[in-house]
Amino acid sequence: MSTGITVPIVGGETLDAAIAHCNVRARILACGYISEYNGEEKYGVKNLAWFFKKRIRMYGILTSDLVPKWGGAFFEEMYRLLAEGELKTQEHIVHGLENADKAWVELLQGKHLGKTVVVVSDPEA
The total of structural domains in the chain comes to: 2
Query: Do residues 100 and 56 both lie within one domain?
Result: no
* Residue 75 is assigned to a structural domain of this protein: no
CA separation for the pair 100, 25 (Å, rounded): 43
% the chain with pLDDT above 70: 97
**Start-to-end C-alpha separation, the chain:** 51
How far is 95 from 122, CA to CA, in rounded Å?
Answer: 9
Is 98 part of a structural domain of the chain? Answer: yes
**pLDDT tens figures, 17-45:** 888 888 999 998 888 787 777 777 888 78
pLDDT (tens digit, 9 = 90+) per residue, 58-84? 988 888 888 899 889 988 998 999 999
CATH of the domain at 16: 3.40.50.720
Contact by Cβ (8 Å): 112, 92 = yes
CA atoms within 13 A on the CB side of 74: 8
57 and 7, same structural domain?
A: yes
Whether residue 115 is contained in a domain is answered as yes
Domain that holds residue 55: 3-62
Residue type for 5, please?
I
In a domain, 76, yes or no: no
